[in-house]
Homo-oligomer: A and B are copies of this chain.
Amino acid sequence: MSDSARKDSPEQSAFREHCRSWIAANLPPPSPVRLPQSALEIMTREQLDYLCAWQKAAYDAGLVGCDYPVDCGGGGRTDCQRVANEEMQRSAAPYFPNIIGLGMAAPTVFYHGSDALKRQVLPALLSGEEIWCQGFSEPGAGSDLASVQTFAERRGDRWVINGHKVWTSLAHFASWMILLARTDKSSKYDGLSYFVVPIRAALGKGVTVRPLIKMTGETGFNEVIFEDLEIDDALRLDEVGKGWTVAMTTLAHERGAGILVTPQSGGSRRGDGDAGLVSALVELARQSWRNGQCAADDPVIRDRLAQLLVREEGFRLNLKRARVAGLTDHPMRLMLQYKLLMSEVAQEAGRLGMDIAGNAGSLYVSDPAAPQAGRWPLAYMNSFGFTIAAGTSEVQRNILGERVLGLAKTK
């Protein structure tokens, strides 16, 4: 019996058996096209189709949304998503494509949406048939999210939306957007409201999605422009003027500090996830030559690899320790570090990969001689997406200093 199974409830125990046997029999074939490092970088329809088929199959088997109510398309179970995730992450399954839907939109709609809205949008979200994106950031509202200017003007039971969102991952595939908009210009935090917007249906009719090109040369995120888009008031979450509170639910789940467990697949055993970082770098070091010397013999490379190992395993052990009440002091102390640590470990790993490879370190993905298919310069550059998006590392440190250590608020 595995360690994680040791404390299962009877429901969890039976469900775990179901997950295992289903996964064993239904693991999808390898992708016919090369997959990006995460769902946020899905670029082609082929990639999306492959991943959506997997999400739909897992959903149909009851492994996605297990803890949501049945009338919202969920499995109606108690604390079983964690079990499904453990089993899926143990397998060689790919990740889910509807990452923003599952991780951010679903819990937000669940806690703040009307019952009708939940029944309307959650089933196709959980199954992956409808992809979701997030309309928070704007050119003038990055770290200072509450300064968003996209305006929703009320006209009876309709809202008319105008504005400009940026860094909108997956918008080019998305049916829905979670939207933070201003409904009152006289108040910063209390002047915001929160909507779900059917953007795909409105393409060309008030919604324009344009790809932004990343420094890596990849697309993957977009700008979304609203021009007099009308939506129904039924698509509002919570009260008018409560948008900031609703957004906090979204952000808590994004930072891994939310209440609902996000359905997750793929990861640690696939070699692409964090667990693979150090072993991939070790492999790289054995094959790489720097200045005429094998990188595996370079003392500074050796020390940095050991440092990365300690950081990466420490990060993973934090997640384990966070569940042991006697070994944590503050309920949020470990979980609020998640995003910061993950992004900075990824950045150091990418940088170290380039350094290990020496002259070959800057051979890029399209060069057949690039070590490990050019993974490391790509990872290094993409890591800045992680340290900037969803609250920069600077903002994360403010949050930790203020909420966990109780230091005076900076802004």
Q: Which residues of A contact B (CB under 8 A)?
A: 299-300, 302-303
Contact = CB atoms under 8 A, between A and B. Distances in A.
Nearest to A302: B299
Contacts of A299: 299-300, 302-303
A302 B300 CA distance: 10
A302 B302 CA distance: 14
Nearest to A300: B303
A233 B302 CA distance: 67
A299 B303 CA distance: 9
A83 B303 CA distance: 46
A303 B300 CA distance: 8
A116 B100 CA distance: 77
Contacts of A302: 299
Contacts of A303: 299-300, 303
A160 B149 CA distance: 59
Nearest to A303: B300
Top 7 A-B residue pairs of the complex, sorted by shortest distance between their CB atoms: A299-B299, A300-B303, A299-B303, A299-B300, A299-B302, A303-B303, A300-B300
7 contacts: A299-B299, A299-B300, A299-B302, A299-B303, A300-B300, A300-B303, A303-B303
Contacts of A300: 299-300, 303
A365 B385 CA distance: 51
A303 B302 CA distance: 12
Nearest to A298: B299
A293 to B, nearest CB: 13
Nearest to A299: B299
A285 to B, nearest CB: 15
A300 B307 CA distance: 12
A299 B300 CA distance: 7
A291 to B, nearest CB: 15
A387 to B, nearest CB: 21
A77 to B, nearest CB: 51
A299 B299 CA distance: 6
A300 B302 CA distance: 10
A30 to B, nearest CB: 41
A278 B303 CA distance: 22
A75 B407 CA distance: 55
A347 B401 CA distance: 26
A158 to B, nearest CB: 42
A3 to B, nearest CB: 34
